[in-house]
Amino acid sequence: MSIFKPVTSRTASRRSFLWKFGAGVSAVASTAVMARPEASTAGDPALKAALLEEEKALRQLHQAFEQAMDRGQYEEVIAMFAPDAQVTFNGRVFDQRHQGVSRLYLGLFKPGKVGRRMEAAPGFESSVRQQDKVEVSADLRSATAEFPYSIQVGVPVESENSLASMARLHGEGVQTWWEGGAYTAAYAKDAVDGRWKISRLEYNTVARADYRAGRSYATPLAMSPLSARYMEDMERMEKSV
């Protein structure tokens, strides 16, 4: 006598149901296992406290950046960047802390007193009302942020004559204006001292205006990106130091 029961359509249907049910349970269990680390991260008081502490440190770093810019302490500004940092400003990308980034802040910002905070131009106040935002990665090694800015900006007056070229090399002939927008930044922990450094910084301009502090009016301003000619001037100045 056979101990195996014949497979009927009813039996096959039942087995099919059990197999599908089991597969569904396995899928749910698998999803639960995959989601468990995220759930535990979200519910970890120690990690949450650490994230808040790092966020506070990043806000303090940005505050120190703005204060140094405001005081014209550009060497201190440069020291806040990572060795392989990158800054995007007015259509140009400046790479490496001791090369492009230094050239930007010492060659362009310092002579023109650029980057210093000033009130928003009349009629443009809404352009700089964005809320700041800081997000720290779960491993506490990297972060991103956005901060609004309202600053004085400038570029050298473009001219083909030799006097203008000499003026640019000596930090003169700079046209300034008001600019509002948001910094978009990325940060990384320094491998040596464990402190936060700026790894990428972008000046995302929302509005520009021909405006000086104390005026009661302002007019929109369109500016051309930094020219290749001026970039070459800055490179020559850097090599001559």
pLDDT digits (tens, 9 = 90+) for 142-184: 999 999 999 988 766 655 544 445 444 444 556 778 888 999 9
| 212: pLDDT strictly greater than 60 | yes
Domain limits for position 131? 54-240
Residue 49 lies in a domain: no
Q: Tell whether 168 and 191 lie within a shared domain.
A: yes
Q: Tell whether 84 and 172 lie within a shared domain.
A: yes
Residue 161 lies in a domain: yes
The number of domains in the chain is 2
User: Nearest to residue 115, comparing CAs of 65, 64, 69?
Assistant: 69
How would you classify the pairing of strands 174-189 and 81-89?
unpaired
pLDDT in the model for residue 69: 93
Average pLDDT over residues 31-45: 50
Kindly state the percentage of the chain with pLDDT values over 70.
64
Prediction pTM value: 0.69
pLDDT in the model for residue 205: 87
pLDDT in the model for residue 122: 81
Indicate the pLDDT class of residue 43, thresholds 50, 70 and 90. confident
Which bin fits 123, alpha (ψ -120 to 50), beta or left (φ > 0)? left
Q: Tell whether 204 and 85 lie within a shared domain.
A: yes
